[in-house]
Amino acid sequence: MPIISVTNLRKAYGENVVLRDVSLEVEAGEIVGVVGPNGAGKTTTVECIGGLRRADAGRIEVDGLDPSTNPPRLREIVGMQLQECRLPAKITVTEALELYRSFYPAPRDAGELLERFGLAEHRRQRFGSLSGGQQQRLSVALALVGNPRIAILDELTTGLDPQARRDIWAFLGELQSDGVTIVLVTHFMEEAQRLCNRVAVINDGRVAAFDTPDALATATDGAQHLAFTPSLTVSDADVNRMRALPGVVSLTVTADRVVATGHDIATPVLMFLAERGITPLRLRVESPTLDDAYLSLTTADQDGPG
Amino acid sequence: MTSPPTTTDAGTARSASGATRALLRNEARLLRREPATVIWAVVLPLVAATVLANVPATRSPNADLGGWSFSQVYLPTLIILTASLLSVQALPALLAKYREDGILKRLRTTPASPTNLLVALFVLMGGVSAAVALLMTLIPVVSGVPFRGNGLAFGLVVVLTLVSFTALGLLFAAVSPNSRFATGIGTVAFFVLAFFAGLWIPRSLFPATLATVADWTPSGAASRAMLDSMQGDWPAVQSVFVLVLYAAVCAVVATRMFRWE
């Protein structure tokens, strides 16, 4: 049974319809990514799930609770990190963590969180004097301080350097092995690809696709790119033979590089080269990525309403 | 607004009062880190009260003030000064800033509610004002000018004044679209309130028309009621009515208009 289920969610702010029809199911223990262009309705969706906004239509259940009725139990099992939330400038890191710990019945250890989020040496520093990345890490730590069963993280790694981002990813991986369900809104396809079991692409108030990152990447007709420098000169006849190989859509030869594009072309091209005794040097194979999938899903109906 | 606690809510209700206490401790700590507020609202009024109670010219009765001493006529003014700085100026600026920064919204995602934070701030600002008021009332006594008046009436008027000012501050926080607006409206209100409380001209020197107008302002009504009780009387019905009216109207309008984000 899914721990979060969202059915036919609709939400408008005045004339502006943000969610047209959003349905999602998140299984317990899953990490689900929510991606989509700015204004697509990602934040509105997760804020409805977290009970901060009430949808105009549709149904949400979070562990059997209806978030729109603001049940106290929901606050204990859901930890939320919001975009653009600033703490008072003069509160210190430890004070903020201890304050938020005091709200929960069974909070996490503050020291552990300080270590995990690289804030231990800044524990006495005031929020206003922290760097943007440190503030961001504190905000993620505060979302997890209550030991939530469900963590909703809105752009958790925005503004972080690559190392800090990887540290947080590693920590989220551990949370998942502890059984925590994570919903994360992100702009980084790399983050979604690495971390998420499934990714929901939201576009124009609808779920354009919801599947594993790999399935999304391959389902969207993404092309494979193959590039190499041949060890021997390739004859014109061989170039034409390669162009005729199954799956190859295009093939170009420049001074020393051969670039082929198509579907599942790596094996036939490489086998052909082996037959001819040509070694492909500096070989690069690029498979379709989540990025490609994302772009093809979100640019399809740009001229639609909104 | 809040449903009566059921058995399943008992644990939550317990932790809610815990959350209010934790937020109160935290806000008290943050207030101590604002030297300007502490100096203007706490230190200067206490210093002024001490000086007025000890300098012979200001501690003895003055014929121009209708037999009052400067130390006496300024006691209500100084109490109102502290209360308006904390509840009418600092409180709405702080709440508007917390709303702007998403702190109130962030609290909604926790078992604590932003209501806990509101309560904590009311208690903090009211508590500091009440403590300063008590000290300023006791300073002349320690300096040898005993308080002769209706102490019970005086205490009740001070409490009513704090409630009324807190409601006014909450109204300002509710109508302010951002923290700059809240700071501006709070500052203007502070000067108006301080004026009618007699900060620049003692109340007993107000011309008749000005006194009539002042009696309909919260600070004018408060200082008049405090002076009445210092004379041993119960305050005029009008003064109490004005304070209750401001408290009720501001509280009702503020709670209807207040937004968490």
Mean pLDDT value of segment B27-56: 95
Q: Which tokens is A306 given?
A: 């909104």
**Alpha carbons B46 and B135: distance in angstroms, whole number:** 8
Residues of B in contact with A100 (CB under 8 A): 110
Rounded Cα distance, A18 and A6, in Å: 15
Q: Which residues of chain A have pLDDT under 70?
A: 220-222, 300-306
Say which range, A54-58, A70-74, B6-10, B151-155, has the weakest mean pLDDT: B6-10
Question: How far, rounded to the nearest angstrom, does the alpha carbon of residue A161 sit from its chain's CA centroid?
Answer: 17
Cβ within 8 Å, pair A105-B111: yes
* Residue A35: strand pairing partners: A201
Q: In what side-by-side order are the strands of the sheet with A280-286?
A: A248-253, A258-262, A224-230, A280-286
Nearest to B102 among A79, A84, A90 (CB): A84
| CA-based nearest residue in chain B for residue A91 | B30
Does B19 contact A95 at a Cβ distance shorter than 8 Å?
Answer: no
As given in the structure block, the two tokens for residue B238 are 């009008």
The domain defined by A223-287 folds into Alpha-Beta Plaits (3.30.70)
Q: Where in chain A is the domain with CATH 3.40.50.300?
A: 2-218
B9 close contact with A: CB closer than 8 A = yes
The answer for A 102-141 residues in CB contact with B (under 8 A) is 102-105
* Rounded Cα–Cα distance for residues A66 and A62 (Å): 6
What is the sign, positive or negative, of the torsion defined by CA atoms of B173, B174, B179, B183? negative
Chain A residues near residue B102 by CB distance under 8 angstroms: 82, 84-86
**How many of the other CB atoms lie within 10 Å of CB of A137?**
27
Say yes or no to pLDDT of B21 above 50.
yes
Confidence of residue B67 (pLDDT cuts 50, 70, 90): confident
Look at residue A220 in the predicted model and tell me its pLDDT.
Answer: 66
pLDDT value of residue A81 = 95
Which strand (E) or helix (H) includes residue B156?
helix B151-175
Distance from CA of B114 to the nearest CA of A (A): 12
Neighbours of A48 (CB within 10 A): 25
Do A288 and A220 form a contact (C-beta atoms < 8 A)?
yes
Q: Which CATH class is domain A2-218?
A: alpha beta
pLDDT band at B10 (very low <50, low <70, confident <90, very high): very low
Q: What is the mean pLDDT of residues B42-65?
A: 93
Q: Which of A52, A85, A104 is closest, CB to CB, to B103? A: A85
Q: Which residues pair with A31 in a beta bridge?
A: A182
Question: Which residue of chain B is at minimal alpha-carbon distance from A67?
Answer: B109
The torsion angles phi and psi of A56, rounded to 5 degrees, stand at -75, -35
Judge whether A52 is closer than 8 Å to chain B, CB to CB: yes
Token match 């399943």: residue?
Answer: B8
Q: Where are the domains of chain B?
A: 10-257
By residue count, chain B amounts to: 261
Which positions in chain A touch B98 (Cβ < 8 Å)? 88
pLDDT at B37 over 60: yes
pLDDT of residue A300: 60
Of B19, B33, B102, the CB nearest to A102: B19
Token reading at B54 = 């000890």
**Count of other CB atoms within 10 angstroms of residue A103:** 24
Give residue A221's pLDDT.
67
| Band (B162; pLDDT cuts 50, 70, 90) | very high
All CATH 3.30.70.1340 domain ranges in chain A, comma separated: 223-287
Q: What integer best gives the mean pLDDT of chain B?
A: 91
Mean pLDDT of B50-64: 92
State yes or no: pLDDT of B7 exceeds 50: no
B98 touches chain A (CB under 8 A): yes
Interchain contact, A105 vs B26, CB within 8 Å: no
Please tell me if residue B60 touches chain A, with a CB cutoff of 8 Å: no
Residues of chain B in contact with residue A94, where contact means CB-CB under 8 angstroms, are: none
- 3-class DSSP state for residue B39? helix
Whether residue B1 is predicted with pLDDT greater than 50 in this model: the reply is: no
The answer to whether residue A65 neighbours chain B at the CB level (below 8 Å) is: no
Whether chain B has a CB inside 8 Å of the CB on A91: the answer is yes
A interface test, pick of B12, B106, B261 with most A CB neighbours within 10 Å:
B106
Please say if the pLDDT value at position B9 is more than 50: no
Distance separating alpha carbons of residues B198 and B196, to the nearest angstrom: 5
pLDDT of residue B2: 42
DSSP three-state, residue B183: helix
Cα separation, B54 vs B140, in Å, equals 8
Contacts of A65 (CB under 8 A, 6+ apart): A71, A73, A74
Query: Cβ of B18 and A104 within 8 Å?
Result: no
